[in-house]
Amino acid sequence: MWRGAAAALLCLAAAWLLRRGFEPRARLLSAAELRRYRGAPGEPGLYLALLGRVFDVERGRKHYGPGGAYSGLAGRDATRAFASGDFTAAGLVDDVAGLSPPELLAIHSWLSFYSDSYEPVGKLVGRFYDENGAPTEALREVEAAIEEALKSQAESEQKKQQFPPCNSEWSSAKGTRFWCSRQSGGVHRDWAGVPRKLYSPGSQGSRCVCVRSSGPPWGQPDSSQHSDRGDLDNPHLERYEGCHPLAEQCVLLTG
């Protein structure tokens, strides 16, 4: 239950970030006006937009000003490029249709960066904000998609804490060896665990994970009701044939 609450709090934090610093009375700019802020001589400043939020990036002129590596981002909303890395004319657009969850998370990360590093100016009237500065349906859809991606990311991280990946190695002479340690899979913890196959619902394949073999099941309070077998009884797990059920390593000989 606490894992669901943590994911919910993360989504609330994401929603706060997505609207942070952009009050209804913020300055409204048209696309034509924003194009005047590319940092060239005689132009009034250096701005860029992300998800319709406009930031003053003058402090980053060496990156965003004329001749800078990211000068293509200046004077426009090029949200898609922040996810795709495509800095051609086709990629420097605000259309985010079809982006994958990892790409949406990249946009969220960049939005966090600009919110922390640069001064917000206002809103760009167009795809994400209407002429009154109100969020459009397009903005609400992408915000919902980002929040869903953040929720999935949090759940994936929690699953990795519960079932960290095994260490593994293979040789033609000895076959495949799986083993667990207190930092296998890059997850530092106070238990090593035992190797098991983990099957994901709807998937035919499995992967080797380390499983706690004592204490209460994951996410359950420590009480006299549990069997003191950790997560060994999880229905998505399977033992490696021929390996001791509580061994911290397992060797599968080459057939």
The 10s digit of each residue's pLDDT in 81-99 is 999 999 999 999 999 999 9
* pLDDT category of residue 255 using cuts at 50, 70 and 90: low
5 within some domain = no
Residue where a domain terminates, one of 124, 157, 190: 157
Are residues 62 and 107 located together in one domain of the fold? yes
Q: What is the pLDDT averaged over residues 139-147?
A: 97
| Strands (DSSP E) found in 106-224 | 119-124, 167-171, 175-179, 194-199, 206-211
Tell me what pLDDT residue 224 has. Answer: 62
My answer on whether 170 and 115 are in the same domain is no
Strand order in the sheet with 53-56: 27-29, 119-124, 53-56, 47-50
Average pLDDT of the chain, as a whole number:
88
Same-domain check for residues 122 and 72: yes
Boundary-marking domain end, from 157, 184, 205: 157
pLDDT tens column, 22-79: 454 579 999 999 999 999 999 999 999 999 999 999 999 999 999 999 999 999 999 9
Q: Of 3-7, 130-134, 197-201, 251-255, where does mean pLDDT reach its minimum?
A: 3-7
Specify whether the CB–CB gap between 134 and 26 falls below 8 A.
no
Share of the chain above pLDDT 70, in %: 87
Q: Which one, of 227, 245, 164, 230, lies nearest residue 198 by Cα?
A: 164
Please give the pLDDT value at position 90.
Answer: 95
Give strand pairing partners of 250. 178
| Pair (97, 176) in one structural domain | no
Domain that holds residue 135: 23-157
